[in-house]
Amino acid sequence: MRRLTVAITGALAVALTLITIGPSADASQTAPGFSAVYQRIPGAGGTEIGAVVLTPTGQGDGPFPLVVMPSSWGVPNVEYVGQGTKLATAGFQVISYSSRGFWDSGGGIDIAGPPTVADVSKVIDWAGQHTPADTSRVAAVGISYGAGTSLLAAAKDSRIKAVGALSGWADLIRSLDPNHTVALQSVAGLLALGNITGRPGPEMASLQTKFVTGDFDGAIAEASQLSPARSAATMVDQINAKKPAVFLANAFEDSIFPPSQYTDFFTSLTGPKRLLLAHGDHATPEVTGALGLPNETWDELVDWLRHYLTGADNGADAEPPVQLKSQRGTWRGYANWAAVGQPRTSYMTKAGALQGGASTGWSRSIGAGIPTVADSGVALVSGALQGLLSIPTGVVTPLVDRSFAGVWSGPAFSSATVVNGMPKLHVTVKPSAASTSLFAYLYDVDALGVGSLMSHKPYTLRGATPGKAVPLDVGLEATSWEVPAGHHLVLVVDTVDPRYLGRSVIGSTVTFSSPAGDPSWISVPVAA
């Protein structure tokens, strides 16, 4: 740890040297600029927080609106210095700090527990006493862990007038254990990074002990107990009462905090709000902006902060509240989430077709516990390839083994169509085992059968009665996807995906059916 602290100190020295070079750091200059210092700020309970403090220069004596930026999981306080220098030069007092338990901040990692959230308020207090900050005009802004912390802080501190929550979570357990299916690769990665870059507190230590020893049920039960106090979705009434202007952004393929939990939270907000969704994996749409490089999401967020912290008449409040970016780079705006697409329902048949009319009275079985070529890709890699290089997670649909997967194909589109929103699947299944995991994938498929993954979702049946049919409703993840004319949609449902902790039993079966009076279908939202 001593070597780590030395490395941190060196990195901070280099970063601060770089950002203070030139006339912009000289308070005697009349041109707008900033000064930068490293500070140890007392957080909740007196725990010291390592922070970079960026103060406007050449812009009068203030007071300046304050932007507090808690760091992401495993990332030090230099994370936002690039963007922070731009904000300070534009007249914002900025404090970027390492979250509790990580790097140069004291304490233990409590997974966004009350002390971590209280640190935001303590930093605001300190800024009011030691900087020319106006603590009646405060924004809490962060990526990932910093986003979740910022939302939670806004529920507690009425001084926070604006929030920028990028690639964050509103419902922690729903993100990491979607439909009772642990996001194995993501959780393992978070635990590993936390141990490398920080010091696990009691909560994290207990969870990871259960996780690494194979007590997954115990870990899930404990996480479920911790989640409500760490989820802004459970505090939406408090947030709505304080009415901060909430700016949310996320990636469609986010493998840690998938977007559906954000869309539901966004809908429940009653104050000023904005939601931006683009293709990519966790934090990839926003990371370049944190470094100070050109970035669409940060450009929108900075205008948001200018309007709601300074009163700038820049039209930020007049933009469409919901903005979706397709895989081809086209942004489209909507008045609310319900307006992004109109549902088109296709019914599943025994022969593997998706058709306009209901088809009932059929059933077909597959073997469980055996993987097929259909899967959701690799956490933090596949989504990034989609977002940065337009390389989708693909599959050759004729190669999907029908012995171990249900496959249903729709007709070719006669014209280009935009799938916009969250597809929904309704299907009746009969497992032969008490525990079975199902993975639904929706593909955009060309005439040769080559498919690009548009959306997916896991669903795990636990404690089921073997041989008893169960109707399931599965909301797939949101997307904005331009399907070319001549392509068609293919739905695949199998029982194994390497990204998740599946519960399917080799040798068991799953029977899909479409009972009379309750046909099986998939509803795909299409933009007008």
Contact status, residue 481 vs residue 328, Cβ threshold 8 Å = no
- The alpha carbon dihedral of 206, 209, 211, 216 has a sign of negative
Q: Which parts of 432-508 are beta strand (E)? A: 436-445, 450-461, 470-475, 479-483, 488-494
Residue 434 identity (one-letter amino acid): A
Neighbouring CB atoms inside 10 A of 346's CB total 20
Angle (CA) 270-273-275 rounded to 5° is 125
Is the N-terminal amide bond of 63 cis, ω within 30° of 0?
A: yes
Strand positions, DSSP E, 21-166: 33-42, 48-57, 64-70, 93-97, 133-143, 160-166
Whole-angstrom Cα Rg for the chain: 24
Helix (H, G, I), strand (E, B) or coil at 406: strand
Going residue by residue through the chain (528 aa), what tens digit of pLDDT does each one get? Answer: 434 443 444 444 444 444 443 334 444 457 999 999 999 999 999 999 999 999 999 999 999 999 999 999 999 999 999 999 999 999 999 999 999 999 999 999 999 999 999 999 999 999 999 999 999 999 999 999 999 999 999 999 999 999 999 999 999 999 999 999 999 999 999 999 999 999 999 999 999 999 999 999 999 999 999 999 999 999 999 999 999 999 999 999 999 999 999 999 999 999 999 999 999 999 999 999 999 999 999 999 999 999 999 999 999 999 999 999 999 999 999 999 999 999 999 999 999 999 999 999 999 999 999 999 999 999 999 999 999 999 999 999 999 999 999 999 999 999 999 999 999 999 999 999 999 999 999 999 999 999 999 999 999 999 999 999 999 999 999 999 999 999 999 999 999 999 999 999 999 999 999 999 999 999 999 998
* 2-16+34-319 and 341-526 have identical folds: no
Closest among 92, 80, 89 to 24, alpha carbons compared: 89
Just give the CATH number of 2-16+34-319.
Answer: 3.40.50.1820
CA-based nearest residue to 147, from 253, 271, 297, 35: 297
From CA 46, how far away is CA 28, in angstroms rounded?
35
CATH number belonging to the domain at 341-526, selected among 3.30.470.10, 3.40.50.300, 2.60.120.260, 3.40.80.10 = 2.60.120.260
Cα–Cα distances (Å) from 497 to 184, 190, 212, 239, 405, in that order, read 10, 19, 20, 37, 12
CB 276 within 8 A of CB 323: yes
CA distances from 128 to 95, 120, 170 (A): 12, 13, 29
3-class secondary structure for 100-139?
CCECCCCCCECCCCHHHHHHHHHHHHHHHHHCCEEEEEEE
pTM: 0.95
- The full set of domain ranges for the chain reads 2-16+34-319, 341-526
